[in-house]
A and B are shown apart, each in its own frame.
Chain A
Amino acid sequence: MTAGPLIEIEGLRVSFHGDDGRITHAVDSVDLSVANGATLGLVGESGCGKSVTSLAIMGLLPKQSAAVSGAIRFDGFDLLDVPDATLRDLRGNRLAMIFQEPMTSLNPSFTIGDQITETILRHRGGSRRAARERTIELLRRVHIPSPEKRIDEFPHKLSGGMRQRVMIAMALACDPQLLIADEPTTALDVTLQAQILDLMRELKAASGAAIILITHDLGVVAEVCDEVAVMYAGEIVERAPVDELFANPQHPYTVGLLGSIPRLDRRTSHLATIEGMVPNMANPPAGCRFAARCPFVEAACTRSSPPLAMLSPTHASRCIRAPLERLVS
């Protein structure tokens, strides 16, 4: 892809060892890269491994139970192989994350000002007063009204949308190069969602940071992403530039997802459904993991695991029946 990506993930595998001795393979040989200033959408349903991928990048998976292998290269570091002290210096500073639930990710016993200045003082140092001024500036940037007053408020005094903006301000405190946003708008109303998406676009344009946006909402993906990776059962099943993915999906799972959302310009009595269930990741099937739910399945699909094959220089699909057009013409 683009020369010299900011972050490059290669062969990432994460498995969890349960107390009962069962091993769940949450993420399996994931390759991803994001260039400076680009936004990558990571799409998939609950349990497909998208959040685990982001936690692996941030080094936030529990060491006792999660086995992580592969490589995550970020600006000369391998994030899976650096000492904890280095990781602490990077996190919140050059790597930042916005979590899904603004209600639970802010500490209820500190003011929002305390929580943001803490990050600034830890990574940038300087005086408390300078950090406070920067915090006010950040709150203003995320459009929080009268930030001079709001800075001393506790999280419970703020609405959901405001808290999400505080989370974003905190993530931006040290001008990160990579921002991971895990379902940043899922809990919000459509009007607030639009404001937060605008804000993310604005910030990307201003700072040139790269963004990994994790979501299950294809509408949000279409709005802000440049490239999309679709995950299913721990694997990336399709990767393409955003226009290409929406116009010409090449994995049956992506087709099913696109068909299952109600469209504003399309009148239909019945939406497409993806029958069946996600395979149990303690014991994933031998061949294609989507085979049991795929209407285009043939014998070869269940024999061996299909590779993520390039259909064009930018479009990759993990389906041996691609290109799919020939199935319907």
Chain B
Amino acid sequence: MTALLEVEGLVKHFVAERSVFGRPTAHVKAVDGVSFTVEAGKTLALVGESGCGKSTVSRLVLRLIEPDAGRIRFEGRDLGTLNAEQLRAFRRDAQLIFQDPYASLNPRMTVSQILTEPLALHNLVPAARRRERVEELLRLVGLEPRFARRYPHEFSGGQRQRIAIARALAVEPKLIICDEPVSALDVSIRSQILNLLRDLQDRLKLAYIFVSHDLAVVKHIADRVAVMNLGTIVETADAQALFAAPRHPYSRALLSAIPVPKPRAKRSRIVLEGELPSALNPPSGCRFHTRCPYVIARCRSEVPQLLADGTGHATACHRTAELPPAENIVPADGGFSPSLEKLVAAFSGAAEGTGRAGVGHFGTAPQT
């Protein structure tokens, strides 16, 4: 089976400085040789610290910015060769949800206008049936159809994110790129949106590229994870495998630092010394070597390749085989005690009675 999306050797350098004659003198190497695939109906998470290039990758995939090198294939077609019309057709298949639901909705448009625009642009639904489709979309994301006439400021953050999701769904995409979709939301709202994204995936067979720095959320939602550091992927694996035993020292440091909701959790935190190096002038050899606790001379001179083992777990580290075992890197939060498990089940059980967490339940949607 060919993957829905195949990305190969993607490179994007931004010009950071120019000489007086306008010639570029310094580049930010935001993305430097990134390859990955996304299967239909699955979720790939891109994780890493701020500035590692994860948002740039998501924009490159949609061709919102043009790559300097590399190939992106969507359903086998090379996106680089598409003309304007074909590109527009492709945008129907791939949509984007942004982090900040306060900034990503036009305050001067009603919800109905926001949701109708993509339908009209792509000429999907005849004008007479658009109202009906808008109501259907609102129901799909757990909002009441009567909200269609309201403006974004009348909604809470979680409701706005639902509207943004409805807008993305309007064109019936196959791939949605979620750029930190829950980072700006409160915890209780965050779980509603995560449940919604998962339900929609099951129902509509959507593929997600999920960009996030919240690793517990990533473990919850992702099928595969790619860990990025300074514009390159250092490790990629199935989510379960990565969280069970991360291999790259950078992934280990990231996962070991997850704060877990359990007091006195057993953990062996790997503290990274030093500051994140600048992408303007990334370190030679392995880009992680300035902060790596296991650095040897070879790491400073030779760039490690991303090498896969038989199970689809790939690591870009010269010392993969020599590192200490990875057990107990990810802190154990111990789950819930039996009585708390029952209590939480009772808590969410009452909510489930009204429909599965947002999807399709429109009679009890929150009031503004």
Interface residues in chain A, defined as those with a beta carbon under 8 Å from any beta carbon in chain B: 45-46, 145, 159-162, 189-195, 197-198, 216-223, 242-243, 246-249, 252, 255-266, 269-277, 295-296, 324-325, 327-329
Contact = CB atoms under 8 A, between A and B. Distances in A.
Contacts of B344: 255, 258-259, 272
A89 B191 CA distance: 44
Contacts of B265: 222-223
Contacts of B356: 270
A266 B344 CA distance: 12
A216 B191 CA distance: 14
B12 to A, nearest CB: 21
Contacts of A242: 263
Contacts of B274: 145
B171 interface: no
B194 A264 contact: no
Contacts of B195: 270-271, 273
Given A219-B261, A242-B263, A265-B335, A256 B216 contact: no
A275 B364 contact: yes
A295 B198 CA distance: 23
Interface of B: 49-50, 156-157, 186-188, 190-192, 194-195, 198, 213-217, 219-221, 243, 253-254, 257-265, 269, 271-272, 274-276, 330-337, 339-340, 342-352, 354, 356-358, 364, 366-368
A260 B367 CA distance: 21
Nearest to A144: B275
The 5 closest A-B pairs by CB, nearest first: A219-B259, A295-B350, A262-B220, A260-B191, A259-B344
A273 B194 CA distance: 10
A212 B348 CA distance: 31
Contacts of B264: 243
A296 B157 CA distance: 26
Given A217-B259, A261-B216, 10 more contacts: A190-B257, A198-B271, A223-B259, A246-B261, A252-B347, A269-B198, A277-B367, A277-B368, A295-B346, A328-B345
Contacts of B332: 264-265
B342 A328 contact: yes
Contacts of A296: 346-347, 350
Given A219-B259, A261-B261, A272-B191, A325 B357 contact: no
A193 B216 CA distance: 15
Contacts of B262: 222, 246
B335 A273 contact: no
B187 A260 contact: yes
Residue of A218, A242, A328 with highest tally of chain B CB at under 10 A: A328
A260 B188 contact: yes
B353 to A, nearest CB: 9
A198 B267 CA distance: 13
A31 B77 CA distance: 64
Contact of A222 (B156, B217, B261, B350): B261
Name the residue in B215, B253, B357 with the highest tally of chain A Cβ atoms < 10 Å from its Cβ.
B357
A45 B335 CA distance: 23
Nearest to A228: B263
B275 A159 contact: yes
Most chain A C-beta atoms within 10 Å of own C-beta, residue among B157, B217, B339, B358: B339
Nearest to A194: B257
Contact of A191 (B219, B254, B340): B254
A189 B275 contact: no
Nearest to B48: A189
A159 B336 CA distance: 37
Contact of A270 (B253, B275, B348): B348
A195 B259 CA distance: 11
A129 to B, nearest CB: 28
Given A256-B188, A265-B332, A190 B366 contact: no
B260 A264 contact: yes
B269 A274 contact: no
Given A218-B187, A219-B216, A328 B261 contact: no
A275 B220 contact: no
Contact of B216 (A258, A264, A272): A264
B366 A266 contact: no
Contact of B156 (A162, A272, A277, A324): A277
